[in-house]
Amino acid sequence: MAEAARVLVTGFEPFPGAPVNPTEWLVGALRIEPPAIEGIAAFRAEVLPVDYAKVGPRLSEIGREFRPDIAIHFGLAAECSGFRLERVARNSFAGARADNAGALPEPSAICEGPATLASTLPLHAIRERLEAESMPVEWSDDAGAYLCNMVFTLSRAHACEGFAPEMSGFVHVPPTGEGRPLGNAQLLAGALAIIEETVRSRRRP
């Protein structure tokens, strides 16, 4: 059985078109009450900048300070209808749009490495768990062309110095609130289920 894991959860700050980002709220909630899950040696939750120039150095800084074994990245996708489990990171800036600083990268590879990288989270187990708890869940093979896909790619490619999680992946969530697919309480419960299933999978002989 694997040793207890150092677990990182990330979200993002608000960005153009999304003045409220539920993943920023999620990070705050997890900081206030970290998950009490067997198999977690240390836990950290961080809000990442929506800035192409800053996000890589921030991941490197977190990696040097915390050395996560597991990194679960959350982001907002306005059009999704529940927890969207991203299966594939695409190593490309094609179709990117401007970040919070107004920067727009040229169409190119995000980093050295393959064109696509698969999530290493236990996605099928996560889906079964969310469905068992009556949470809306869906699959995706396209994490978009914004910072979400960039972070997913950098995390899976181990492209940031000091940041090399053994398991990592990305989950999109919709806006929360009345009339939305998720409320904040459900968002937190689903995130905890995702964390628990990932830690459980790593510890499985």
The string of pLDDT tens digits covering residues 88-141 is: 999 999 999 999 999 999 999 999 999 999 999 999 999 999 999 999 999 999
DSSP alpha helix (H) spans, the chain: 22-32, 52-66, 123-132, 147-157, 184-203
Reported pTM: 0.97
Cα–Cα distance measured from residue 60 to residue 139, given in angstroms and rounded to the nearest whole number: 29
Q: Is 73 a catalytic residue?
A: no
Query: Hunting for tokens 């994490």 — which residue is that?
Result: 143
Q: Band of the pLDDT at 205, cuts 50, 70, 90? A: low
36 C-beta neighbours (distance < 10 Å), count: 8
- Is residue 33 among the annotated active site residues? no
Per-residue model confidence (pLDDT) at position 177: 87
Q: Which of 157, 164, 152, 167 is nearest to 201 (CA)?
A: 167
- Cβ atoms of residues 50 and 100 within 8 Å: yes
With beta carbons less than 8 A apart as the criterion, state whether 100 and 16 touch.
yes
Known active-site residue 148 = yes
Q: Which of 24, 86, 196, 197 is catalytic?
A: 86
End-to-end CA distance of the chain: 5
- Mean pLDDT over all residues of the chain? 96
Average pLDDT over residues 144-158: 98
- Catalytic hit among 148, 160, 196, 197: 148
Q: Is residue 190 a contact partner of residue 130, using CB atoms and an 8 Å limit?
A: yes
